[in-house]
Structure 1
Amino acid sequence: MYNYLDFEKPVADLEGKILELKKLSESGEAVDVADEIARLEKRSADAMREVYKNLTPWQKAQVARHSDRPHCLDYINTLLTDFTPLAGDRNFGDDAAIVGGFARFRGAPIAVIGQEKGSDTKSRLKHNFGMAKPEGYRKAVRLMELADQFKIPLLTLVDTAGAYPGIGAEERGQAEAIARSTSACLGLKVPSVSVIIGEGGSGGAIAIATCNRVYMLEHSIYSVISPEGAASILWHDSTRAKDAATNMKITAQDLLGLKIIDGIIPEPLGGAHRDPEAVMQAAGNQIDKAFAEFADQNLDPREMRREKYLAIGRNL
């Protein structure tokens, strides 16, 4: 059974009935219920399509945060081979919220940096729920510098609610670390591609997402602040997160229309957690296509990046 979101209750009820009938059928305690199961499965699929046909921005935020969505390490293990992780910022320590290293993507060398949220209680605590501290962003800068040195293209996988806001992080220069990581990302001499696979929250996301190409999964979100944070600032009421999400233009569809991102990667009906393998392969195909485009061009990736980000807000 899936972990259902509140707005998925019609689907949850139908799939619960289907599961009960299948258990009865397997135990031999019921007459043939194949026809009834088929009927309910069709109703369930129809209900799912109806629910996901017009998701609100707040509902998309809930899907983007779903605990069962594939995370950074899932993409790395599925799409990359020969992955060699690197640790530490050579200054303070290692930050498990940022995962990075070198690998091969469909036979070609690649540098990869991503935020890992973790998939269970133990791993979520280890990775600090994907919220990086200064040493995480300084590790990202170190990896970018190595990618530049060895002329290896960069892939970033973004999935964070934002940078860690703790006192220790601020004492160690959180804002400066984010700014330097953003600057390093913009100044790369090699092509770079970023995919927002869940949440793209605030500067914590921008620090590794300012790439030549930025793609979002269909139900991911990308924002300057979380809906809850915006509601707290604007209305002093975090319960109005739904209103904030609606007005902030945080969905992939909104951001494509604003020309902030370069494309949307479709998700299976019901979200990426319903068929992780399919969505990861779709992401891989888009990444491959993006890097192939760079191979056909002789333009400086830095100049392409400069034009891309200076154009935001000017060509609507």
Structure 2
Amino acid sequence: MPSLPRPATGPGSRYTARAATTRPRPTPRHLNIAALTRRLTPRDLWLARMLHEHQVLTTDQITRLLHTGRRSAQRRLRTLHRCAVVDSFRPLTATGSAPEHYTLGPAGAALLAAHAGLDLAATGWRPTSTGRIAYSPWLGHDLGTNDVLTHLAAHHHEHPDIHLELWLSERSCARRWGDIIRPDAYAHWRDGEHLLPFFLEYDTGSQPLARVEAKLTGYAAFRTATGSTPALLIHTRTHSRDQAIRHRLTSAARELNLPVATTSADFTTDSPWGPWWTPLGPSSHRTTLTRLPVHWADLTPAAGLAPTDADTALTLPVPPLPPTEEPTS
């Protein structure tokens, strides 16, 4: 089957930031964090935690998670930007216009540190953080990863019995398992009685197939070392790349006894929960995320998820969806 056209912009495209524009904002002499307590809602604080965890989210991704109108989301984001809770930039793309990209701002970082009872340095935030993200060659990769997971999380708005229970970023995964594996994300997909714990590898096509195959050895070592068996989901950008990965990895996954499924953005678009995932194997057919645990009966959540004494409020998992908005009187 031939590959479908690649989108010109956004997470499914090949764009990287060549330049970035930032919104002007008056710079106060001192950040008055205490004055923000009467202006910020629990959803604002949740967003600050999400940006600390996942580094960068676009307007569309934030709107999707907040389950609100785009204009309402933009108005609130502008307010948070003026308060320095968030920073923003818009990358220069080869064609078209990129959406606004949001990162954690100085006041947002200070708020998180204050809530955790830690120094600002503990957040990892620096005045150059937004610039590093804006010009990072991995920007498209990070946005693609976040796009898949935000679609999964937001699916709960339309189907309350289906939800993304847990979503750990690449940094959180590295903090827990970095001596063995470094996935792009780890998550739990819950549909009724079916639980799919999975690692996500978001493949942009930039790595040689041999390097992608080499990652399977690490996941096999993780399974041996921890005794836990999450699935490994590989999301590629095009169907042709997906086919190449499947041809290269099928034998290795079978020899290592790893539960691996693949798909591509040509199929998932804005519904990655759908029947687009194909387990590696000679006679496998596409299926949904919910049906994958039926295909692999021995799946178990990853070891190392329980909080330890080394954890702080900044290292604990962030709920994938915001707290419920309280009605105004």
TM-score, with structure 2 as normaliser: 0.29
Where relative contact order (Cα < 8 A, 6+ residues apart) is larger, the structure is 2
Normalised to the residue count of structure 1, the TM-score between the two structures is 0.30
